[in-house]
């Protein structure tokens, strides 16, 4: 297996590592199917699906609707692939246009200074966290840029899938690891993103 590629097999291997290392019951079960992650109750509305969606944007555009808690990947006029998301806490969400400036599989993560000021417990991670099953960015990240500059906002996976549908992050948009892997494979660098 190519170590640089995200595959369902890699996520399943992550699940095995998490199981063997005795992770707590709050850790994500890697490789868990989307159906299990969202069950059949009210949270099931956040499952990935193809939907009718008329945005007027060209195919390939990503639209993040923070109020609805959905991300739409426009596939054709009037159709989109919809993903459930978690968004930033009130006042901590990027709005407007951006583009995918960079992509990373199993990305490392370092909290920003403002994150550490708001949540001092994050100072323990000031040196960064390497990529892997315990990293808050999950299996992949799409980095949002404006004018060639990193906005410090990301579309990324999460090891806390139960947060999908909520406003809980420091501003980034979270998807389940299964969904970010799907979106990552469909999204080239340069993709237009609109956050509304």
Active site residues per annotation: 156, 172
Q: Provide CB contacts within 8 A for 49, sequence distance 6+.
A: 81, 82
Ramachandran assignment for 138, one of left (phi > 0), alpha (psi -120 to 50 degrees), beta (any other): left
d(CA 106, CA 157): 9
Please report, for residues 6, 14, 29, 99, 170, the alpha-carbon distance to residue 134 in angstroms, rounded to integers and kept in the order given: 16, 10, 11, 27, 18
């Amino acid at each position: 297996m190519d170590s640089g590629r995200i595959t369902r097999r890699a996520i399943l291997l992550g699940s095995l590592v998490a199981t063997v290392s005795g992770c707590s019951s709050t850790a994500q079960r890697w490789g868990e199917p989307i159906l299990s992650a969202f069950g059949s109750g009210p949270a099931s509305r956040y499952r990935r699906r193809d939907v009718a969606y008329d945005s007027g944007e060209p195919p390939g555009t990503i639209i993040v609707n923070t109020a609805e808690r959905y991300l739409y990947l426009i596939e054709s006029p009037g159709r989109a692939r919809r993903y459930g998301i978690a968004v930033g806490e009130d006042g901590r969400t990027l709005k407007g246009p951006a583009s995918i400036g960079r992509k990373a599989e199993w990305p490392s993560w370092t909290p920003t200074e403002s994150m550490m000021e708001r949540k001092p417990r994050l100072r323990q991670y000031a040196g960064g966290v390497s990529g892997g099953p315990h990293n808050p960015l999950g299996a992949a990240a799409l980095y949002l840029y404006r004018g060639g500059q990193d906005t410090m906002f990301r579309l990324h996976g999460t090891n806390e899938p139960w947060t999908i549908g909520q406003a809980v992050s420091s501003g980034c948009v979270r998807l389940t690891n299964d969904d970010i892997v799907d979106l990552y494979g469909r999204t080239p660098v340069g993709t237009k993103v609109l956050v509304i």
